[in-house]
Amino acid sequence: MRNSLVSIWTRPGSASRCSTTVRTTVPSCALPRARRTRARRRSSSIADRHALPGTRGHPLATAPTLSEQDPTLQEQSRKRGNIIALIVLAAVGIVVVVGYVVLHFATSDRVPSGTEIGGVDVGMLSLDEARSTLGDALKEPAAEPVRIVRGKKTYELTPKEAGLAVDLDASIDQTGAASSVWNPLTMIDVLIGSEDFPVELDVDQKTLDSAVVSIAEDTDREVAEGRIDFPDGRPEVTEPKAGRAVDQEATVAMVRDAYPLEHTALELPVDSLEPSVTSDDLTAAVSEVAEPAVSGPVKIVVGKKSAELEPADYAAALSIQVTDGKLEPVLDPKKLAEPLAEATSGIGTPAKDATIAIRNGAPTVVPGTPGVGVAAADVATAIVPVLAKSGDERVLTVEASKKQPDRTTDDLKKLAIVEKVSSFTTRFPYATYRNINQGRAAELVNGTILEPGETFSFNDTVGERTAANGFTAGFMISNGVFREDLGGGVSQVATTLYNAGFFAGLEDVNHKPHSFYIDRYPVGREATVAWPTLDLKFKNTTDHGIYIQAWVNKSTPSSQGSMNVTMWGTKKWDVTAGVSSKRNFRSPATRYDATDKCVPQSGVTGFDIDVYRTFKIDGKVVDRETITANYNAADNVKCQKPPKKRD
């Protein structure tokens, strides 16, 4: 049988082009090796027999082998090449993965290269190493006190008093060192990056705010607007004084930003508060407004009758004050009422207010009586334009009317002032000025009636502490030290009033403790006052009236005096007080004063304390309040020049 046919054709002159056709009944790859060899030999012999003349045995004329023509063998060759390529790629991949994992572990849990925290280089350190390095570098500067300077005065706070501490863990965490790094770009950044970070702090915000409030209370001064009064019937100018106020928010931010590296010489940010009118405005007002206002009497015409109101009669009620940014005459109807009633006594009869008298330990209503005459409120308003006129033009026409008491008997009965609501007493050492000043202030406060919703003002009730108002010179606290001035000692009246109002359950509208603690007063429950800027105010939030009884038991060289206040009304609450422990202690400094105004004093430690007020009705708690008192340290004051510094 014919098993194969091989044909070869070679173009004359061509050494390489050929055509080969092979047909087999059995694939050569299926033959045993010996048979495949013999087949190749036979094929070669056949090819030689069928070669063109002249080409037999020529290499280029040799027929392809069966293996070269077998596609299965070619596929196996390609597969082997692919396998080798895959092996090479796998090896490269393994190298990359191993390198990637090694790089991951080399960069994770380490601070990125070139990192500084507060100027401390912690780059490529482990977390523990970075914490130790940063802690060592910040230990000394972080222990330095915060020093805030205003002029010649320096406020010094320990980090604890300022509520500041370095947070090492947060400082390091912000760098991202504690995170697991898988992003290759992040790995590169860890190895070659560079970044600066601030020192993170652990801040007790309440303590820091409290420390700044204490500084502000010692520094702040309210604007004192200029005014013109007439204490002796003549214009007396009170010059305006600019105020100042610590920018507390900026101070807190400044301290936080500066600690723990740049906090030892900070400039206190203080805003200047300018008065509405200037000294020049006041000078002009003296000649243009004040002097014409008291240049002569004002004739008051009531029907066919008239009376003259002399400048001396209305001068005490007159003042030139800042109103809506301008200096305008103002008359106080209450201060005008008595001299007006006397000047116009021939025109009518004065009305008498109903009042309260304490008889046999209980309040009793004393009825009021109506009158006929000129109303002080009408005159106080109508007289203002007349004061700018002169001579015969200073005439005021008003109508007489029946004058009901400002407070009638029925009005007073409706206030239900029937029982003791609270009482408080403070004691003071012997001093003549204390007897005089506290006695005069108590006299002016005594008999005050607060209707529901009405607010008591110490300064409005007592008035300016002047010799004309019955006060004398005494010692008071000014800028953290004792100074002698008119009205010294009246803060004890304010403190006693504050406590009586506290236990009566009245609303604390405004009060300020002394700048440093005075141990004869209840800690945290005391108040200071100063004319005209610092006031004590409380509001009657009950549904009944409050009658204030105030008196002084004078001191003697052998016995203490006492300041007493009792409030009468209808009891609504049982009020109790409590206090927290003292905190944020502040140490006193030493101050030297060689002036003749110096008063020596011993230093007093400053501190903060909370006062708790609890309201009960029928034994059940219905309300609680917390009031925080901040006391500065009182400096040791030595009345001498500072000692010379040694070289």
**Per-residue pLDDT reduced to its tens digit, 410-441:** 999 999 999 999 999 999 999 999 999 999 99
In a domain, 46, yes or no: yes
Q: Return the pLDDT at 61.
A: 47
The pLDDT tens digits for 530-588 are 998 999 999 999 999 999 999 999 999 999 999 999 999 999 999 999 999 999 999 98
DSSP 8-state symbol, 200: P
Q: Return the pLDDT at 206.
A: 95
Q: Which residues contact 173 (CB under 8 A, 6 or more apart)?
A: 200
In a domain, 473, yes or no: yes
The residue-averaged pLDDT of 370-399 equals: 90
Q: Return the pLDDT at 93.
A: 65
Neighbours of 617 (CB within 10 A): 11
- Please give the Cα distance from 70 to 65 (Å, whole number): 9
Q: Which residues contact 119 (CB under 8 A, 6 or more apart)?
A: 196, 261
Q: Are residues 166 and 249 in the same domain?
A: yes
Looking at per-residue pLDDT, the higher value among 482 and 31 belongs to 482
In a domain, 374, yes or no: no
- Please give the Cα distance from 144 to 228 (Å, whole number): 50
| pLDDT of residue 168 exceeding 90 | yes
The residue-averaged pLDDT of 30-58 equals: 48
Looking at per-residue pLDDT, the higher value among 518 and 613 belongs to 613
> What is residue 538's three-state secondary structure?
strand
Among 44-48, 185-189, 298-302, 328-332, name the one with the lowest average pLDDT.
Answer: 44-48
What values do phi and psi take at 31, rounded to 5?
A: -85, 150
| pLDDT of residue 32 exceeding 70 | no
Q: Of 272, 297, 331, which residue is a domain's last?
A: 272
The residue-averaged pLDDT of 636-643 equals: 85
> What is the count of structural domains for the chain?
3
pLDDT category at 364 given cuts 50, 70, 90 is very high
DSSP output for 609-620: EEEEEEEEETTE
Q: Are residues 60 and 153 in the same domain?
A: no
In a domain, 573, yes or no: yes
| pLDDT of residue 5 exceeding 70 | no
Residue type, 499: N
Q: Return the pLDDT at 28.
A: 46
Looking at per-residue pLDDT, the higher value among 124 and 143 belongs to 143
Q: Are residues 449 and 587 in the same domain?
A: yes
In a domain, 597, yes or no: yes
- Please give the Cα distance from 271 to 243 (Å, whole number): 8
Domain holding 15, by residue range, is 4-69
Q: Return the pLDDT at 12.
A: 41
Q: Return the pLDDT at 198.
A: 94
CA 337 to chain centre: 45
The residue-averaged pLDDT of 310-317 equals: 93
In a domain, 539, yes or no: yes
pLDDT category at 101 given cuts 50, 70, 90 is low
Q: Are residues 49 and 171 in the same domain?
A: no
Q: Are residues 112 and 65 in the same domain?
A: no
- Please give the Cα distance from 566 to 99 (Å, whole number): 87
The residue-averaged pLDDT of 180-193 equals: 52
Q: Of 218, 247, 272, which residue is a domain's last?
A: 272
| pLDDT of residue 375 exceeding 90 | no
Determine contact, residues 83/162, Cβ cutoff 8 Å. Answer: no
The residue-averaged pLDDT of 109-134 equals: 87
- Please give the Cα distance from 343 to 398 (Å, whole number): 14
In a domain, 350, yes or no: no
Q: Return the pLDDT at 97.
A: 58
Q: Return the pLDDT at 486.
A: 84
The residue-averaged pLDDT of 245-249 equals: 96
| pLDDT of residue 409 exceeding 80 | yes
Q: Are residues 500 and 643 in the same domain?
A: yes
pLDDT category at 25 given cuts 50, 70, 90 is very low
Looking at every residue in the chain, the average pLDDT score rounds to: 84
Q: Are residues 166 and 38 in the same domain?
A: no
Q: Of 69, 86, 117, which residue is a domain's last?
A: 69
The residue-averaged pLDDT of 222-228 equals: 93
Q: Which residues contact 589 (CB under 8 A, 6 or more apart)?
A: 156, 603, 633, 635, 636
Among 13-27, 298-312, 435-449, 566-580, name the one with the lowest average pLDDT.
Answer: 13-27
Residue 142 belongs to domain with CATH number: 3.10.20
Q: Are residues 495 and 640 in the same domain?
A: yes
Q: Return the pLDDT at 10.
A: 40
Residue type, 316: A
Q: Are residues 63 and 118 in the same domain?
A: no
**Using alpha carbons only, how large is the chain's radius of gyration in Å?**
50
In a domain, 321, yes or no: no
The residue-averaged pLDDT of 172-184 equals: 66
pLDDT category at 478 given cuts 50, 70, 90 is low
Q: Are residues 115 and 60 in the same domain?
A: no
- Please give the Cα distance from 177 to 193 (Å, whole number): 13
Q: Are residues 529 and 449 in the same domain?
A: yes
- For residue 426, what is the enclosing H or E element? strand 419-428
pLDDT category at 249 given cuts 50, 70, 90 is very high
| pLDDT of residue 105 exceeding 50 | no
| pLDDT of residue 16 exceeding 50 | no
**With pLDDT > 90 as the criterion, what percentage of the chain qualifies?**
60
Q: Return the pLDDT at 428.
A: 95
Q: Are residues 243 and 131 in the same domain?
A: yes
Among 118-122, 204-208, 492-496, name the one with the lowest average pLDDT.
Answer: 118-122
Q: Highest-confidence range of 37-41, 348-352, 639-643, by mean pLDDT? A: 639-643
| pLDDT of residue 309 exceeding 60 | yes
Q: Return the pLDDT at 3.
A: 40
The residue-averaged pLDDT of 272-290 equals: 94
| pLDDT of residue 81 exceeding 60 | yes
| pLDDT of residue 82 exceeding 90 | no
pLDDT category at 251 given cuts 50, 70, 90 is very high
